[in-house]
Amino acid sequence: MLKELPPGIWEAARPHGWVLEPDALRLLEAAGVPVARHAFAGGLEEALAAASRIGYPVVAKVVSPAILHKSDVGGVETSIPDPAGLAAAWARLARLEGFRGALVAERLSGLELIVGAKIDEQFGPVILLGLGGTAVEIYRDVVTRLAPLRERDVASMVCCLRGARLLTGYRGCAAVSLPKLTAALLAFSELVTAIAERIDSIDLNPVFCTPERCAVADARIVLAPAP
């Protein structure tokens, strides 16, 4: 069963209508959904310390209640090679609207998937799996299932994707770990079922999958409109 969820997240998110990413990642971790190693830094010193713990290269992302779509405003700095690079990135992020700090995270690689959830008017909570990354809206290769998912739902989701072979192995590309992906989706589905009344939709995009692991690199949780 789902462990106790971290307190205070919903109250903090209510004023802007969505959960800031450090909180979103805390929520996912508490639910057993694997996420990239990360730390929130309110200042550059903290960021540098976090980066040296995590190990370069790192990613830095703006944390601001005014910015829901970070990459649209230059709020994501990928592949920062060293402390000097991090300091420069910090300076750029700090100029963005509503800047509260930055999330410093390990730089993941692998197959980019999108995992999502939405509360459907007719059917209630729904889980989505698709080929992710920034081109997700172009290819629209996604499949949905009603939550809660069972293990066999995950298997059928994978095989229903047009690009299923990208997950199951194709030529030089190794298969991603389907057991890890399944565990992540089942944990996510359990979380979504538990918080269905609070949310409108969730994007985990991308989720990086390799033969060894699956981990969420970016999370966005949009709240249901206040009653």
Partner 1 sequence: MGPFDFRPLVKPRRIAVAGVSLTNDRHPANVIYNKIRLRYPVPVHAVNPRGGRFLRDPLYASIAEIPETPDLVVIAVRAEAVPAVLAQCIERGAGAAVIVSGGFAESGRPDLQERIAAMAREAHFPFIGPNCLGVYAPGRFDTFFLPGERLVRPDPGGVGFVSQSGGVLVDQMVKFSAQGLGFSLAVSIGNKAVVREIDLLRHFAADPETRVIAFYLEGFGRNEGRAFLEAAQAAGKPVVVLKAGKTDAGRRAVGSHTASLAGDYRVFSDALAQFGIVEAHDEFELTCFCESLSHYPRAVEGRVGVVTASGGHGALATDILSGLGLEVPALSAALQAEIREGLSANVRPIAALGNPVDLTGSSTDEDFLAAVAALGASPEVDCILLLLLPYSPGISADLGARLSEVHRRSGKPLVAYVPHVEKYRILIEGFELNDVPVASSVDGAAFMVEAMRRCRPC
Binding positions for partner 1, rule: CB under 8 A: 18, 68-69, 114, 116-118, 120-124, 126, 128, 130, 136-137, 140, 142-146, 152-153, 156, 160, 200-203, 205, 220, 222
50 contacts 39 by C-beta, under 8 angstroms:
yes
Answer for the pair 106, 25: CB distance below 8 angstroms, yes or no. Answer: no
Least distance CB 118 / partner 1 (angstroms): 5
Nearer to partner 1, 172 or 225 (CB): 225
Question: Which CB atom, from 21 or from 153, has the smaller least distance to partner 1?
Answer: 153
**Based on CB atoms, which residue is closest to partner 1, 38 or 145?**
145
Find the shortest distance in angstroms from Cβ 50 to partner 1. Answer: 27
58, β-bridge pairs: 80, 106
Residue showing tokens 């008017």: 121
Q: How far is the CB of 9 from partner 1 (least distance, A)?
A: 17
Residue owning tokens 């800047």 = 99
Q: What are the C-alpha distances in Å from 145 to residues 109, 115, 120, 180, 199? A: 27, 11, 11, 18, 17
Q: How far is the CB of 40 from partner 1 (least distance, A)?
A: 21
